[in-house]
Every structure is written in structure tokens, then in C-alpha cells.
A = this chain, B = another copy of it.
Amino acid sequence: MDALRFREEVKPADIRAVRCIVESSGLFREEETEIAVELVRESLSRGAASGYHFVFAEKKTAVVGYCCYGPIPCTARRYDLYWIAVSPGEQGKGLGTELLRFCEGKIAALGGERIYVETSSRQSYDATRRFYRKRGYRREAVLADFYAPGDSKIILVKVLGKNDLPPDPLLCL
């Protein structure tokens, strides 16, 4: 099995990689894909000032999953987990969990205390919500009919604790 590496530096080729991963997941609308790609562009052009941090999971040189997070402006030590996606061929192998743990560790290392995730009430997101619930995220609020009639926004939160340690530096390029 090819070794998995995490990379935090953003490269121009990540624009295409992120588009490919997000599109192929089949979970996101075109407008959502464009936003995912836009965050990569923002990070490339503005660096840390963009407020977007990335973690790319690579096997050899192929990006097989990624995560995007960042501090929430005007809050004290609160972070948004904007995006986490894994290539269809790599799903079901624990990569999402590894990416999430890695990001949580990075956020903890940055002094983060709470992580927020926004998701949809649509049935296609059932697995996504289960994924977060199993990993310590609880439902904090529901905005009824937020995305569209019958499609609510569900806001999840995880309060970081002692077990959410910074990731092992050896894992990261």
C-alpha cells in the first residue's frame, strides 16, 4: 500500500485536484464546487491572509483528499471546518478520519477551542452527519429551510479537549 502523506503548502495544481475531488464526490452542487476551488485560489494569491488553511492527503504525488479550515473572524479561538472531501476510490478506508484528526490537531496547536461545521439536512448528507457525530461533533443549531425549502442548515460543533493533540510532525511534509 502506498504511504499517505499530508501536505499543508498550497500549489497551483491543487486548483485542479480540488475541483476533481469535489466534483467526483457527487455530493456537491456546481456552485459549491466553484466555492471550494475559489478558496484554493484565495489561499494561493493571499497566503495566510486569506484565512484558509489546507491539508492535502497525497499518495505518491496524487492528491486523494483534502481539508480546508480557518479561524472564524471576530471570534476568540473558534475555527470553521470549511471543507473535507476524499476521492471516491479512497473512501471507506479511514482517510476522512485521518484528515479530520490531523486538522483538529493543527487547530488545537493554533490555540483553537471550538470547531464548527455546517452541513445540510438533505438525505444525501446522512453519512456526512454520521461521520461527524461519531467523531465528537454535536448538533448545535438548525436553520430551517436555510438552503432552500425543505433543505435546512445544520451547524455542528466540537469543543476541543486534551485528546485533540497537535499532529505528529513526522506525518507532515
Within 8 A of B (CB), among A114-155: 114, 116, 140-149, 155
Residues of A in contact with B, size category: 20 to 34
> Does residue A2 face the partner (Cβ distance < 8 Å to B)?
no
> Does residue A8 face the partner (Cβ distance < 8 Å to B)?
no
Q: Among the listed B74, B144, B148, B155, which residue makes an inter-chain contact with A147, where contact means beta carbons less than 8 Å apart?
A: B74
**Cα distance, A145 to B114, chains bound together (Å):** 9
Specify the chain B residue showing the minimal Cβ separation from A76.
Answer: B148
Residues of B within 8 A of A116 (CB): 143, 146
B141 A29 Cβ-Cβ under 8 A:
no
Residues of B within 8 A of A147 (CB): 74-76, 78
B143 A157 Cβ-Cβ under 8 A:
yes
> Does residue A31 face the partner (Cβ distance < 8 Å to B)?
yes
Q: Among the listed B75, B76, B146, which residue makes an inter-chain contact with A78, where contact means beta carbons less than 8 Å apart?
A: B146
